[in-house]
A and B are shown apart, each in its own frame.
Chain A
Amino acid sequence: MSTQTLDRFPKDLAVSDLAAGSVTLTVDAAVYPLEAVYGAAYIFIDRCFVLLDRPKAGSVAVTLSPKKAAADAEALRQMAGEFANELLTQAWRQKIVEENRVILETVTTQALAGATARSAPTEPSLDDLASFDFTEEAFDDPLGIAMSWEEKYKKKTPTEAASEAPAVSGSTGAKP
């Protein structure tokens, strides 16, 4: 295997193998968490063959081989750079998630608690309904609001009209 360092890359970080058409980046696990490495590697599997290895404790080696042929030194350097950028993106994204984890959990808990309280049984249960006394009057209706139109304005019989007449004439008769 004939490896060579990549132009503008630190010597210990990335080496390319032109014969194999691959580039290997060695990532410090203290700087980039494993989840970030997985995330970046997963994004690259549509255009590269990716193999992870652990050459020594505390580091992860990522070997990228382009799926398309013609991987010259410049193409490999470009790919290594893109992977390093993606690695940084993933690490930063994970850090933001961790920092906001408490807020996310609090908001989610409050939302779920609100939804639960809203659906709490405030309505009477079937047992309450069974023991409810329907015989008593619901409410007084002195103005006849709850009466139907027919009941309220039906044509009165002569007897009914006669019984109400004195009261009406009495009230009008008091006028000067």
Chain B
Amino acid sequence: MIERRFHRDLYPTTAVDGAVKLFERFARFEQADEGDYRVVRITARRPEREQKIALELSNYALGLTRQGGLS
């Protein structure tokens, strides 16, 4: 299991949720609010896959955040 922490000042919850929704067919996700962070825990079959999904998830969440700001 790998954990990704998204600060709520920087990533809107909708962006994180949207990214999780896109990747949920590749791994199992658990989300929780811890302080200022939206914490996403990713579980996949292999650690490398978890790492890869976590990195891609971050990029996608950033993209959604940016698009939300532009619209």
Q: Write the residues of chain A forming the contact surface with B, with a CB cutoff of 8 angstroms.
A: 34-35, 38-39, 41-42, 45, 49-54, 60, 65
Contact = CB atoms under 8 A, between A and B. Distances in A.
A54 B62 contact: no
Interface string B51-71: 000011011001101100100
Nearest to B63: A45
Given A54-B9, A60-B10, A49 B36 contact: no
B66 A50 contact: no
Interface string B21-37: 00000000000000010
A96 B4 CA distance: 35
Interface string B5-46: 101011100000000000000000000000010000000000
Contact of A50 (B5, B36, B58): B58
B12 to A, nearest CB: 12
Given A35-B69, A38-B66, A54-B36, A45 B7 contact: no
B47 to A, nearest CB: 14
Contact of B63 (A34, A35, A42, A54): A42
Interface size of B as a range: 10 to 19
B7 A52 contact: yes
28 contacts: A34-B10, A35-B69, A38-B65, A38-B66, A38-B69, A41-B62, A42-B62, A42-B63, A42-B66, A45-B59, A45-B63, A49-B55, A49-B56, A49-B58, A49-B59, A50-B58, A50-B59, A50-B62, A51-B58, A52-B7, A52-B10, A52-B62, A53-B5, A53-B7, A53-B10, A54-B9, A54-B36, A65-B55
A52 B6 CA distance: 8
B42 to A, nearest CB: 14
* Among A50, A51, A52, A60: residue with most chain B CB under 10 A: A51
A42 B56 CA distance: 13
B20 to A, nearest CB: 15
Contacts of B69: 35, 38
Nearest to B8: A54
A39 B70 CA distance: 10
Given A49-B56, A52-B10, 15 more contacts: A34-B10, A38-B66, A38-B69, A41-B66, A42-B62, A42-B66, A45-B59, A49-B55, A50-B59, A51-B4, A53-B5, A53-B7, A53-B10, A54-B9, A54-B10
